[in-house]
Structure 1
Amino acid sequence: MPKLTDTQSLILSRAASRPGNLAMPLPEGLHGAAAQKAVTAMITRGWLEEVDADLRRGEPLWRETGDGHGTTLIATEAGLEAIGIEPVAASAVASVRKANPQPDAEPTPTTEAPGQPKPVAIRAGTKQAQIIALLQRPEGASIAEIVEATGWLAHSVRGLISGGLKKKLGLPITARKIDQRGTVYKLDAA
């Protein structure tokens, strides 16, 4: 894992908890040249990316481009990995952002629709990350196999798969009955 300063860790961890991995607003007290230096170093390392700000959604500006538009900062997959968030979670967040393109003709509502999944970050070393790794195997994983690996009860595993992984993260998990294994869940590569 790369060596991060406290400021860089704070910026990336806050971005991981925000919808769309927005790194703005920066931590309180980080202004001017110090903010410019920290952000430039993070962009150079590939941890942050400057993207067009959607002013209709109220995204905070990093800088104005001079043509009536502005940019904001988002954490990249590399930035999320730098703070220990597994690549599958980072790509799930990125795929949710790409899968919901905003049409230019219609105004974007300022609040999120209740039916849309909210991007969520996964910390490395958690049970959820462990279950995702089991589901990514070519053979997938059955409920019994996940129960054995995590020590959870079967209903907790099923709840995480349907609620946490499918609904909340929007991961493409398939289920198939296989003789002598029961229902096998598999996370298809996107």
Structure 2
Amino acid sequence: MTKLTDTQILILTRASVRPGNLALPLPKGLHGASAKMAIGRMAKLGFIEEVEANLRRNEPLWRETGDGHGTTLIATDAGLDAIGIDPVLVGTMAGLRDAKPEVIVAVKRPGTKQAQLIAMLQRPEGATIAEIAGKLEWRSHSIRGAISGSLKKKLGLRVIAEECPARGRVYKICPAG
């Protein structure tokens, strides 16, 4: 099994929730030689593929090839599989996302606490810190850390907090857009 760095895992995870499995834009702070090294290794392993960018859809460019053309990066099925995401499920979910805008995270390990947290936040009514703490047996600071760190920063999900008179502060994952 190939050992990937946290940065490479982050690139592939973000690509799995983007249309067409686009690997761009890269995480903040990753540029220059370090970006080329990370992408080069993943390309060599067959986890990332360089394809012609569709400029009509404003796809981000990895590099320009001249005469108004450029390339972008996409995560391959092997890349998604390397981080535990089922490529077939991602394709199916992409079709559903186009039909009905929802945030869907396809994971092979659905029983994890992170997966349970995402499921709670995807519900129409969302979840409060107290509800999450009761279900996951986490402390409130751990929940807030998971929301801001794992969900927002690492997975790139849009989590909002709303005040509800009956329940207090309610957290929800919003559709991308």
Matched, 1:122 2:106: yes
Q: After the TM superposition, which residues 52-67 of structure 1 pair with which residues of structure 2 at under 5 Å, given as runs?
A: 52-67=52-67
State the alpha-carbon separation in 2 of the partners of residues 79 and 93 from structure 1: 17
Gaps of 5+ in 1: 97-111, 128-190
Amino acid at match of 1:49: E
* Structure 1 residues 76 and 119: CA distance shift in structure 2, 3 A: farther
TM-score (norm 1): 0.51
State the alpha-carbon separation in 2 of the partners of residues 38 and 7 from structure 1: 8
* Structure 1 residues 72 and 120: CA distance shift in structure 2, 3 A: farther
1:19–1:118 CA contact under 8 A, matched in 2: no
Instruction: Name the counterpart of 1:164.
Output: none
Q: After the TM superposition, which residues 75-90 of structure 1 pair with which residues of structure 2 at under 5 Å, given as runs?
A: 75-90=75-90
Runs of 4+ in 1 over 6 A off after TM superposition: 116-119
State the alpha-carbon separation in 1 of the partners of residues 59 and 81 from structure 2: 24
Q: After the TM superposition, which residues 14-29 of structure 1 pair with which residues of structure 2 at under 5 Å, given as runs?
A: 14-29=14-29
How many aligned residue pairs are there? 110
Matched, 1:69 2:53: no
Q: What is the aligned-residue identity percentage?
A: 60
Q: CA deviation at 1:89?
A: 1.9
* Structure 1 residues 76 and 118: CA distance shift in structure 2, 3 A: farther
Instruction: Name the counterpart of 1:42.
Output: 42
1:85–1:124 CA contact under 8 A, matched in 2: yes
Matched, 1:9 2:9: yes
3-state SS of 2:20 partner: helix
TM-score (norm 2): 0.54
State the alpha-carbon separation in 2 of the partners of residues 67 and 121 from structure 1: 38
User: Could you report, residue by residue, the CA deviation over 1:88-138 in whole angstroms, capped at 9, with x for unpaired residues?
Assistant: 3256479x6xxxxxxxxxxxxxxx9x64788955210227xxxxxxxxxxx
* Structure 1 residues 3 and 43: CA distance shift in structure 2, 3 A: same
Gaps of 5+ in 2: 112-177
3-state SS of 2:66 partner: coil
State the alpha-carbon separation in 2 of the partners of residues 58 and 80 from structure 1: 24
Q: After the TM superposition, which residues 128-139 of structure 1 pair with which residues of structure 2 at under 5 Å, given as runs?
A: none
1:77–1:90 CA contact under 8 A, matched in 2: no
Q: CA deviation at 1:3?
A: 1.1
Amino acid at match of 1:70: G
Q: CA RMSD in A?
A: 2.6
